[in-house]
Every structure is written in structure tokens, then in C-alpha cells.
């Protein structure tokens, strides 16, 4: 009798290897090799320059996924809005805050990108894809309407895809139970799309090697310096956004110190750094926000909705990367083009944080819609995209943690005394519950099903 409980306990000891670490290491090695090859074989007609098709091929694979990624995320995003509104005040207030903060983050990215100009002087015009011919306003607006409902998904026109996705999303809102069933089907389709996207991301080391080698071969150390400048500027921008912007709002509204909140979430930050995804810490954020003193209804609405609509780090990345590509290719965007790109990114960035590679697809989609001649430049940042993913994920995660406290304060659904006790360390979080429920305590596998993003969480760990 004493031996029977022992056998089942032996199985959980074995842990699966997180293969995303191997992908990360492969990208790092590919970038280093690409820089070395570019420096050893310089020249626009040299061996390194001839490796450019490897990067172009990877970008072509990403472009292939733009329409399905945008369609699924926008349709499901509109469905989430409808669901959030059913909870009343919390949902409406959260969505308003998310849209304001995302727009603000995009604006910060534009300002920093225009001040730093990290890609200036590279003049990588040979990487340009042929641009579509310009059209007047009437032709542009009529061009948004596809020839058929399904042709938007196959024609590769991002604005047509966005238009159809909005129509489908709003139509599903009015279909009641049938609409919910169709949304579930689209959620499964999104899981398939993300699975394919993850498979494509395993080719990233090859694409990064070819792209970096070609760029460095053509420009020498100038390319390495420009890419490093972009990374450093992005990290500094994210840090300032968290400390200054989010920290100030949190202190003024809730009286909570941002550094104490971040210390409380320290274990989650380690999980995010190891997985390059804020989704990996989602179940723990829900549990910790409830332990902090925010009511369950507020946490239950704010955190899952924020993971689709409050992507501050991703917003900063999208705008800074777009401006970098434009400068690197010697075709800087005019102010009007930048604003148009910002508006598109506000919509298209929703849901881009769930899976590695979705950010690249959204970036390519934004450029495809507003500056198609710059899409080829996405290959320039393939090599460093992985290095910036941690900053994106950490900023997204912190933004959602701050938003949850703010929502609790504004709706008066937060226990101020409990917040003080928890952040002072006198009421520590019980890690054993998370080890049992979510498998994070000892670095185990992520449990799936906490929210609608569960399928994406599983894919991130696949």
C-alpha cells in the first residue's frame, strides 16, 4: 500500500527540453557567422553579397503568413472586444486605456526613431522589392475592396485582408451562439497558422545568416554599428517607457511604486527572459495580481484582454523597426506616411505578442500596406529580432501588470492594505500553488487553457 503512491510521482520528475533555447542559440551563432563572412568577403558582388537570397527567402515565407495572421487576430480581437464589453465598466475602461497606451507607445517609437536614425547612411537600395505604382485617393479606396470575400486572403493585399477581417468580426458579433461557434473555429485556424509560423521561424538562423552576411559584406562595420544602435535605442526606450511613463501613471493613480511591483514579479521576468514571450507567464500574472489584492473579476477581464490589446513593447518595436528599415534603404518615410503606418499598426499589432515571428509578420504587413518597396528590408533585422524579443515581452508584461492595478484602483476593486502587505514582503506569494497548477515553479511545462490565448501559449513552448 505504501508503494502505490510512489509510482505516479516518478513521472513528473522528467522534464521536456525547451527547444526554443536551441533556436535562440542558433540565431546568435548565425548572426556571428554572418558578420564574420561579411567582413571576410566584402563587396557588393562578393561571396557574402550572393548570400542575400537566403534572407529574401525567409522574408518571403514571413510574407506568406501575413494575410492569415492578420485575418485571424483581427477577427478574434473584435470577438474579444464584444466579450469584454459584456462585463460592463471594467471591460470598457480597460479597452479605452489599452488603446490610449498602445497609441502612445507607437508615438514614442516614432519620436525616438526620428531622433536616432540608426539606419541612416547604409543606403541598401539593392534590397528593395519593386513597389506598386502609386494611385490617387479614389483608386486607393476602391482598391481596398477585394474582388471576392476569399480573394483577400490569397491576393496578398494587406488592406483588403484587414477590411474583410473587420467585416467578418463585426458580423460574427451579431450571430449569437452561431457566431461564437465560428469564432472557436477561427481560433483553431489561428492555432494552425501560428504552428506554421513557428515552423518557419526554425528557418530564421539561415535567413539571418544570409541577410547579415549580405548587409555587412556591402557596408562593412557600418551595418553592425547601425543594428547595435537600433537594439540599444530600443532597449533604452522600453526602459524609459516602463520607469517614466508607466511608473508615473501607477504612482499617481494607485500610489504604488513601479520598482516594488517589478520586484514582486521578479520570478515572472526570469520566465519571460528564458522563453522570449510574455505569454509564458500569463497564468502566474493572473494568480499574482489576485494575491496582490485586485479582485478576481477585474483580473479576469484585464489580464487576458491586455494580452491581446495592450502590447506596448511590440508597438514601440514596430514603429522603430519600420523607421530603421526606411532609413537603411535610403527611403525615409514622410510624416503622413508615418502617421498612416501608426494607425495601421494600432489595429494590426493586436495579438502580435503571442507567438515568436508574429511581430515580424505584422511589421512586414504594415510595410506591405503603406510602403511595399520597403518590405525587403525586413530581412535586415531578422538577425537581431530575436535579441529584441525579450525587451518586447518584458515591456508587454509590465504594461499589463500596471494596467491591472490601475483598473482595480479606478473601479475600487483593490485591497490597498493587501497591496501594502504584499509589496512590503510581509505576505509572500505561495509558489507551491503555481508549481502544482502551472508547472513554472521548477521550470516545468506551461499549462494551457488559462485564457483564450492558451493555444498560443502551448505553441510558444512547442
- Over residues 405-454, the pLDDT tens digits come to 999 999 888 899 999 999 988 888 876 655 433 333 333 333 333 333 33
Q: Put residue 136 in one of left, alpha, beta given phi > 0 → left and psi -120 to 50 → alpha.
A: beta
**Confidence (pLDDT) at 19:** 62
Residue 194 clears pLDDT 70, i.e. is over it: yes
Section 182-198 average pLDDT: 84
**Confidence (pLDDT) at 280:** 63
Section 377-394 average pLDDT: 77
Least confident of 50-59, 236-245, 246-255, 405-414: 50-59
DSSP state of 134: P
Section 297-312 average pLDDT: 78
Q: Supply 88's cell numbers.
A: 460592463
Average pLDDT in the chain: 74
- Binning pLDDT at 50, 70 and 90, where does residue 399 land? very high
Residue 17 clears pLDDT 80, i.e. is over it: no
Residue 345: CB atoms within 10 Å: 29
Bridge partners, residue 294, by sequence: 414
Residue 177 clears pLDDT 90, i.e. is over it: no
**Confidence (pLDDT) at 140:** 57
**Confidence (pLDDT) at 209:** 85
- Binning pLDDT at 50, 70 and 90, where does residue 238 land? very high
Half-sphere exposure of 347 (CA within 13 A, CB side): 21
Domain ranges for the chain, please list them.
18-461
As a 3-state breakdown, the chain gives helix, strand, coil percent values, each rounded to 5, of 75, 0, 25
- Binning pLDDT at 50, 70 and 90, where does residue 262 land? very high
Residue with cell 520566465: 271
Residue 403 clears pLDDT 90, i.e. is over it: yes
Least confident of 140-154, 217-231, 405-419, 432-446: 432-446
Section 74-102 average pLDDT: 72
**Confidence (pLDDT) at 125:** 57
Farthest CA pair distance, the chain = 82
**Confidence (pLDDT) at 131:** 38
* CB proximity list for 376: less than 8 A, separation 6 or greater: 56, 59, 127, 128, 129, 329
Least confident of 62-76, 315-329, 395-409, 432-446: 432-446
Least confident of 19-23, 134-138, 171-175: 134-138
* CB proximity list for 49: less than 8 A, separation 6 or greater: 43, 214, 217, 218
Section 339-344 average pLDDT: 76
**Confidence (pLDDT) at 404:** 92
Could you tell me how many residues make up the chain?
462
Residue 181 clears pLDDT 80, i.e. is over it: yes
| Highest-pLDDT range among 27-31, 254-258, 308-312 | 254-258
∠ CA 408-414-420 to the nearest 5 degrees? 120
Section 383-390 average pLDDT: 74
* CB proximity list for 402: less than 8 A, separation 6 or greater: 246, 249, 250, 258, 261
Residue 165: CB atoms within 10 Å: 25
**Confidence (pLDDT) at 117:** 75
Q: Top-level CATH class of 18-461? A: mainly alpha
**Confidence (pLDDT) at 53:** 83
Amino acid at each position: 500500500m505504501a508503494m502505490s503512491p510512489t509510482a505516479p510521482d516518478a513521472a513528473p520528475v522528467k522534464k521536456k527540453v525547451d527547444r526554443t533555447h536551441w533556436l535562440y542559440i542558433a540565431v546568435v551563432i548565425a548572426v556571428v557567422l554572418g558578420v564574420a563572412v561579411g567582413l571576410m568577403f566584402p563587396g557588393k558582388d562578393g561571396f557574402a553579397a550572393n548570400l542575400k537570397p537566403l534572407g529574401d527567402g525567409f522574408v518571403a515565407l514571413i510574407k506568406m503568413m501575413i494575410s492569415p495572421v492578420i485575418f485571424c487576430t483581427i477577427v478574434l480581437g473584435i470577438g474579444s472586444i464584444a466579450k469584454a464589453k459584456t462585463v460592463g465598466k471594467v471591460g470598457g475602461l480597460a479597452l479605452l486605456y489599452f488603446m490610449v497606451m498602445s497609441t502612445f507607445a507607437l508615438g514614442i517609437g516614432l519620436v525616438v526613431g526620428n531622433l536616432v536614425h540608426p539606419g541612416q547612411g547604409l543606403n541598401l537600395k539593392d534590397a528593395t522589392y519593386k513597389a506598386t505604382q502609386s494611385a490617387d485617393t479614389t483608386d486607393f479606396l476602391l482598391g481596398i475592396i477585394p474582388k471576392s470575400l476569399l480573394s483577400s486572403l490569397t491576393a496578398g493585399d494587406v488592406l483588403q485582408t484587414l477590411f474583410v477581417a473587420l467585416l467578418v468580426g463585426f458580423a460574427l458579433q451579431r450571430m449569437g451562439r452561431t457566431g461564437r461557434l465560428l469564432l472557436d473555429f477561427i481560433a483553431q485556424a489561428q492555432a494552425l497558422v501560428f504552428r506554421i509560423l513557428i515552423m518557419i521561424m526554425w528557418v530564421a538562423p539561415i535567413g539571418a545568416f544570409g541577410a547579415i552576411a549580405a548587409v555587412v559584406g556591402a557596408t562593412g562595420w557600418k551595418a553592425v554599428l547601425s543594428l547595435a544602435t537600433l537594439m540599444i535605442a530600443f532597449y533604452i526606450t522600453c526602459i524609459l517607457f516602463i520607469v517614466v511613463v508607466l511608473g508615473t501613471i501607477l504612482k499617481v493613480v494607485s500610489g504604488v511604486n513601479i520598482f516594488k511591483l517589478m520586484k514582486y514579479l521578479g520570478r515572472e521576468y526570469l520566465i519571460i527572459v528564458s522563453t522570449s514571450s510574455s505569454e509564458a507567464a500569463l497564468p502566474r500574472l493572473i494568480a499574482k495580481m489576485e494575491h496582490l489584492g485586485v479582485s478576481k473579476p477585474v483580473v479576469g477581464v484585464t489580464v487576458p484582454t491586455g494580452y491581446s490589446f495592450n502590447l506596448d513593447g511590440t508597438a514601440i518595436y514596430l514603429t522603430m523597426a519600420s523607421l530603421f528599415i526606411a532609413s537603411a534603404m535610403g527611403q525615409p518615410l514622410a510624416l503622413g506616411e508615418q502617421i498612416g503606418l501608426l494607425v495601421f499598426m494600432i489595429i494590426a499589432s493586436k495579438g502580435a505578442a503571442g507567438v515568436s515571428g508574429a511581430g515580424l509578420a505584422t511589421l512586414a504587413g504594415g510595410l506591405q500596406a503603406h510602403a511595399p518597396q520597403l518590405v525587403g528590408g525586413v530581412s535586415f533585422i531578422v538577425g537581431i529580432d530575436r535579441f529584441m524579443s525579450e525587451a518586447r515581452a518584458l515591456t508587454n508584461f509590465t504594461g499589463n501588470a500596471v494596467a491591472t492595478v490601475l483598473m482595480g484602483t479606478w473601479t475600487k476593486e483593490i485591497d490597498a492594505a493587501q497591496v501594502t502587505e504584499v509589496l512590503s514582503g510581509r505576505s509572500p506569494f505561495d509558489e507551491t500553488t503555481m508549481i502544482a497548477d502551472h508547472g513554472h515553479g521548477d521550470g516545468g511545462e506551461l499549462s494551457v487553457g488559462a485564457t483564450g490565448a492558451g493555444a498560443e501559449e502551448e505553441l510558444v513552448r512547442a
